[in-house]
Structure 1
């Protein structure tokens, strides 16, 4: 099978591209940074550099491939709506159009559990339990992109979407690096009582889910799937485990939720008034994420994708820590 993987210079896209090559698939990758995919080219991947906002480039990328795994997109909390809409919705529309014109059989879309975020605690969320309104531009545009993907079924494209939660392992640059930096600066505090349980996903388990999505048939198609390790754990136990592995002091200081939320609101308000609207050090949504229970029901993925998490969170954390030490010896 020949596949295209977008966003391969990023963590998830890059790790899946390497996994797909190991499985014997023929892999074409796209990314903005050539240096970010050099290790994939060395393993036999075909690299086509360019911006997915260029429809002609996307047509070229989708030529002669059987399936597309679309991992590219804008991530984050801060920024204007136009930025997130262009990177998450318009780019996905370009990919869909190219899939249809180039007769690609299947599109596997990487979405996000951010579509569920409303600042409240949730346990065992099912795929259809969406909030009445989205908390940020990222969550809203990821959901809109999903809707575009599923609408393409009408024209014969086979589609699936995955919503993986807190993906970690070697190469993770989004979850722990910021926490590590904050702790080194003495700015990290446990928000609330520190007992909140959340989901994580080993990147190895996500790779298996993505591969299953490429091979699935029948009733598995046309659905969106929650993906996690299926075993919520106390968030701050995980954070402190990583800090200890990196020879950093654990977080012991507590900050009341109301105080942290108020400080985040003030921080956001000030940054909106400053020239260039710099990104705040603390977000209201981030405070809620770090203080409240949040877990997903993965029974649909188990039923239709035969998904079963095999790699434990602690193994994924050890892998991340070994990688971090190798790349950040200081």
Structure 2
């Protein structure tokens, strides 16, 4: 099987591209940063650099592949709707068009459980529990991108979408690097009572889920899948586990939820008024994410993809910490 992996210069795309190569697949990769994919090229990947907003480039990327694993996109909370729409919706439209015109058989689309975020606690949320209104541009545009993907099924494209929660492991550039930076500056506090339980996903488990998506057939197709380790853990226990592994002081200071939320509201308001609209250091959505229970129901993935998460969050955290320390030697 020959596949295209977009976003291969990022964490998830890069890790899955490497996994696919290890499974014996022929892998073409796309990303913005050539230096970030040198290890994949050394392992046999074909690298085509370029911006997925270029529809002609996307057509070339899709030539001669059996499946596309679309991991590229904009992530974050701050920014204009237009910029998120361009990166998450327009680019996905280009990918869908490339698949259809180049007769690609299957498209795996990496989405996000941010679609569900509404500032409230959720335990065991199911794929169909999409809110009527979205809390931010990221969640809104990721959901729109999903709709573009599923709209292609009527033209014969086999599609699956994945919503993995808090993915971590070696190479994680998002979750723990940000928290480590905040703690080193003395700006990290436990929001609320610190007992909230959340889902994480080992990158190795996500690799298994995506690979199953490449091989799935029949009723497994045309569906969106929640992906996690299936075992919610106390968020602040996880954060402090990582900090201790890296010989950093654990977070002990508490900040009441109402106070943190008010501070985030003020921070966002001020930044909107400043020239250039700089990114706030604290977001209302971020406060809710760090203080509320949030877990996914993964029964659909278990049923249709035979998904059985084998790698614990603690193993994934050890993997992250070992990689983090090795990169800084």
TM-score (norm 1): 0.99
- Secondary structure at the residue paired with 2:27? strand
**Structure 2 counterparts to residues 233-312 of structure 1, below 5 A:** 233-312=233-312
Aligned residues: 329
- Residues in 2 aligned to 1:18 and 1:63: alpha-carbon distance in whole angstroms: 21
- Residues in 2 aligned to 1:283 and 1:311: alpha-carbon distance in whole angstroms: 31
1:328 aligns with 2:328: yes
Query: 1:151 matched to which residue of 2?
Result: 151
- Residues in 2 aligned to 1:280 and 1:42: alpha-carbon distance in whole angstroms: 39
- Residues in 2 aligned to 1:72 and 1:188: alpha-carbon distance in whole angstroms: 29
Query: 1:84 matched to which residue of 2?
Result: 84
Alpha-carbon displacement from aligned partner over 1:61-91 (angstroms, at most 9, x marks no partner): 0000000000000000000000000000000
Query: 1:173 matched to which residue of 2?
Result: 173
1:43 aligns with 2:43: yes
- Residues in 2 aligned to 1:269 and 1:102: alpha-carbon distance in whole angstroms: 46
1:61 aligns with 2:64: no
Alpha-carbon distance, 1:326 to partner: 1.3
- Residues in 2 aligned to 1:170 and 1:86: alpha-carbon distance in whole angstroms: 29
- Residues in 2 aligned to 1:141 and 1:134: alpha-carbon distance in whole angstroms: 9
Query: 1:22 matched to which residue of 2?
Result: 22
**RMSD of aligned C-alpha atoms?**
0.4
- Residues in 1 aligned to 2:247 and 2:69: alpha-carbon distance in whole angstroms: 37
1:315 aligns with 2:315: yes
Alpha-carbon displacement from aligned partner over 1:236-283 (angstroms, at most 9, x marks no partner): 000000000000010000000000000000000111111111110000
Alpha-carbon distance, 1:131 to partner: 1.1
- Residues in 2 aligned to 1:61 and 1:179: alpha-carbon distance in whole angstroms: 36
- Residues in 2 aligned to 1:184 and 1:3: alpha-carbon distance in whole angstroms: 41
Alpha-carbon displacement from aligned partner over 1:123-146 (angstroms, at most 9, x marks no partner): 000000011200000000000000
Query: 2:100 matched to which residue of 1?
Result: 100
- Residues in 2 aligned to 1:266 and 1:247: alpha-carbon distance in whole angstroms: 33
Alpha-carbon displacement from aligned partner over 1:206-234 (angstroms, at most 9, x marks no partner): 00000000000000000000000000000
1:232 aligns with 2:232: yes
Alpha-carbon distance, 1:328 to partner: 2.8
- Secondary structure at the residue paired with 2:172? coil
- Residues in 2 aligned to 1:252 and 1:176: alpha-carbon distance in whole angstroms: 17
- Secondary structure at the residue paired with 1:269? helix
- Residues in 1 aligned to 2:41 and 2:184: alpha-carbon distance in whole angstroms: 36
TM-score (norm 2): 1.00
**Structure 2 counterparts to residues 149-228 of structure 1, below 5 A:** 149-228=149-228
Structure 2 residues without counterparts, runs of 5 or longer? none
Alpha-carbon distance, 1:184 to partner: 0.6
Structure 1 residues without counterparts, runs of 5 or longer? none
Query: 1:119 matched to which residue of 2?
Result: 119
